[in-house]
Structure 1
């Protein structure tokens, strides 16, 4: 039997990228140093192949060709980001006019092709001048970000369909302050909580500024919602899953959509002396400036069990004190990346938003499959990435099921349209609909790019069940 997975009228199809992972740096372009530029300059050996952010996908000089590729792959929506360090090199003060010209040219080119444009203000890249002042640990960064956001609205709002405040704000918290794969790579739970709170406050201030500038413009936050699944029904495992979801998901989801933090999270912070410095006025800003819609990034589930590590007074507090990872036997896996593939997680997210958060408008803003050594799948000049097509189909089926159950999802964006530089992993794993030859910068469509255009044209796909 053939099933027609047809999506609602007006459903958006596209992909996401970010400025720091795609643009590159051109001599004389006026871009300031970001936290990633600085980290690479002092520890290049930490980056896969010692490949840093200078070149990435050279979108800065090849954007005209790349926008054409958006059309060739059927995009009706595209998400990218503005680099704060490109627009305002020192984080505050002087605006870099070549950056203004670049972003306006790019945004205009996308809009002229009938593609909706979603622009993110922050994708892990902080001007290093602000990092030297303490980065997101310092509340002063919040006001600098608010000024940056206002500048973006003033300069580009006429070309942007929708705005986004932050991409995956929990990731710099987890990786930069509870782990060592984002700068400043320090482990300090109290600093992590301060960074998370300052980011949430900055997001709310950007929502407020956006609506003040244009009351009709919608603005979101993009969160990597990773459902936490307990190993068993044992109360200790169930508690571990609940706390993992508090930390990983609800710490930003609740204040962004509901304007307040979960009581259980606040109680935990108080119990361990981790409360950030807050004011009633700041909490009121968060309460009054919830987002208009939500972007959801989903790659894999979070499987947990009761922690094996017991906290003792004086220990360095870690997430490991609250939950431990659980390796599900027989799980489906991406053998190239090592990540579990669990398509039903997207359905579970859809129902969670429907049932517990007032059924907000949302889009899948990232979902993707990274593959190392993808050139081995080339046949007759094209990468035959059927594995990626199967990955997308599996997730779209679960998304379709969630929409049929009443969840208010309006679009699906793949990560990403062209193979991009990916932080410490550089070009180790390829995610794009378009192959990038790192040496020549030549672009070549993969099989998945051609398939995705057909999905967009049909507003769905046929599948033999």
Structure 2
């Protein structure tokens, strides 16, 4: 990489890579990518015909985000995307998972698409393809148009129907530039953080509404799969679910049962119907009438429609135990140790291996893409103007080795998209949590590749060299 500093070059040389024989275990078409989300990086909140989303409303409500931060400017990617794509090429990445903004494409959440937004996204996607970058596009990364929330949001069935219409129009407008689509990102967050705990937009706190939202998000996925198939029959389609490694605090029956309840309400409520065609008895028992009352005849056939790949987002291991005072699920939970990220999340690479093995064993034989995995650390510019994020380098090495272990155990993993390309607006945590491989100085919008970006670039180059035909010598 041309802009690596002498200090970073020295630290890079001291940072171990992945052993060549382990790297060689990955499929030849394995994708080393980076991920972002529209509201977290685009900015331009009031430009180009964009309407307000639930995150605009939430982040502008006093007391709901750290320091009152919002995504009005974020990384200003809306105006800086050509240079950002050039930087991605410099980092060596040719696979990019991004999202398009529903509220930018449809102010009200229904009707014809906003022409300025279509023009923006077509230019962005054309720019990516011109640079040899393959886009993986997510249709929904949490930015529900505010008018749809005002009409009831995800707890009402009509929102799923609106999403299918949006998906159809968007794929028709952009599908010639995109081969791979993700319907939804982490519907667990949308449902339970958005409608139960209130930690995320729209900030509601109602368990039954959260469960209804979970089902309608699943339904939205299924309806969108059908819409994408109609609009772009050759496209590959999947969903990105967050899958958490959940363990009981003790081997006592009460704690084991509590961990199973948390698994049902976190992982299985989304994995079961998409990949197995029904909500399991455990999910139905845990969620009860709140779920059963919103499931209609034919819903599960729609939700379980065949897809082409499974997206898995993974961040941590969680410890659970029985607690009669612990809300609807009657449990307590905390991150496993060691909890060393700035979020306090665990850093246990073998958890990713276990999650991948489990998804392949219990749910689907589809190819799996790790569509998000990453960590926030207390990154800073040192006096030399460098960001030497050794902790993230070690994190990436550990978790990518965990992927190779899963492949060696027979799991069909086809890609890994590190979260995230850029430091960005980290939802309710504002700008205080930095996940990027590229540091963003928000005051100047300057981008500074961290040591981790140089490490990732080296790893990709090492992998590419393995795939080059052996030279024939006389």
Fold match by TM threshold 0.5: yes
Q: 2:173 aligns with which of 108, 132, 155?
A: 155
Please give the secondary structure, in 2, of the residue aligned with 1:185: coil
Q: Distance in 2 between matches of 1:77 and 1:380?
A: 31
Aligned equivalents of 1:350, 1:107: Cα separation in 2: 30
Q: What is the DSSP-based 3-state SS (H/G/I as helix, E as strand, rest coil) of the residue aligned with 1:305? A: strand
Q: How many residues align?
A: 447
Give the Cα–Cα distance (whole angstroms) in 2 for the partners of residues 147 and 45 of structure 1. 34
Counterparts of 1:324 and 1:409, CA distance in 2:
32
Pick from 285, 298, 314 the counterpart of residue 281 of structure 1.
298
- CA deviation string 1:314-347 (max 9, x = no partner): xxx523x1x221565xx22225321111111111
Question: Which range moved further: 119-128 or 175-184?
Answer: 175-184
Q: Match of 1:375, SS?
A: coil
| 1:423, distance to aligned residue in structure 2 (A) | 1.1
CA RMSD of aligned residues (A): 2.0
Q: Does the CA contact (< 8 Å) of 2:165 and 2:227 recur in 1?
A: no
- Cα distance in structure 1, aligned partners of 2:292 and 2:277: 18
Structure 1: how far apart are the matches of 2:171 and 2:423?
29
Per the alignment, in what secondary structure is the counterpart of residue 307 of structure 2? coil
In structure 2, distance between residues paired with 1:389 and 1:367: 13
Q: Does 1:375 align with 2:394?
A: no
Cα deviation for residue 425 of structure 1 reads 1.0
For residues 319-358 of structure 1, what are the structure 2 equivalents within 5 Å? 319=329, 321=330, 323-326=331-334, 331-358=337-364
**Distance in 2 between residues matched to 1:230 and 1:460, nearest whole Å:** 41
Report which stretch shifted further, 276-285 or 106-115. 276-285
CA contact (8 A) 1:237 1:306 kept: yes
Distance in 2 between residues matched to 1:106 and 1:148, nearest whole Å: 19
**Corresponding residue number in structure 2 for 1:22:** 41
SS of 1:452's equivalent?
helix
Deviations 1:222-263 (A, max 9, x none): 011001111222111111111111110011111122222112
8 A Cα contact 1:44 1:52, kept in partner: no
Moved more, 414-423 or 276-285: 276-285
Q: Structure 2: 5+ residue runs without aligned partners?
A: 1-15, 467-474
Match of 1:262 in 2: 280
Maintained 8 Å contact 1:229/1:304: yes
Q: Structure 2 vs 1, CA of residues 267 and 332 (structure 1 numbering), >3 Å: closer, same or farther?
A: closer
Q: Check the 8 A contact 2:154/2:191 in 1, yes or no.
A: no
Q: Is the 8 A contact 2:273 2:300 kept in 1?
A: no
Gaps of 5+ in 1: 311-316
Would you say the 8 A contact 2:319–2:335 is kept in 1?
Answer: yes
Contact 2:335-2:346 at 8 Å conserved across structures:
no
Determine the C-alpha separation between the residues in 1 that align with 2:162 and 2:55: 19
- Establish whether residue 366 from structure 1 lines up as the match of residue 372 from structure 2: yes
Q: TM-score, normalised by structure 1?
A: 0.92
Structure-to-structure mapping, 1:38-57, within 5 angstroms: 38-41=57-60, 43-57=61-75
3-state SS of the aligned residue for 1:339?
A: coil
Where does residue 9 of structure 1 map in the other structure?
Answer: 28
The answer on whether the counterparts of 2:341 and 2:376 sit within 8 Å (CA) in structure 1 is no
How far residue 379 of structure 1 moved from its aligned partner, in angstroms, is: 5.3
Alpha-carbon displacement from aligned partner over 1:114-134 (angstroms, at most 9, x marks no partner): 121100010111000111101
> Matched residues in 2 for 1:169 and 1:273: separation?
17
Deviates more, 1:115-124 or 1:235-244: 235-244
- How far residue 410 of structure 1 moved from its aligned partner, in angstroms, is 0.4
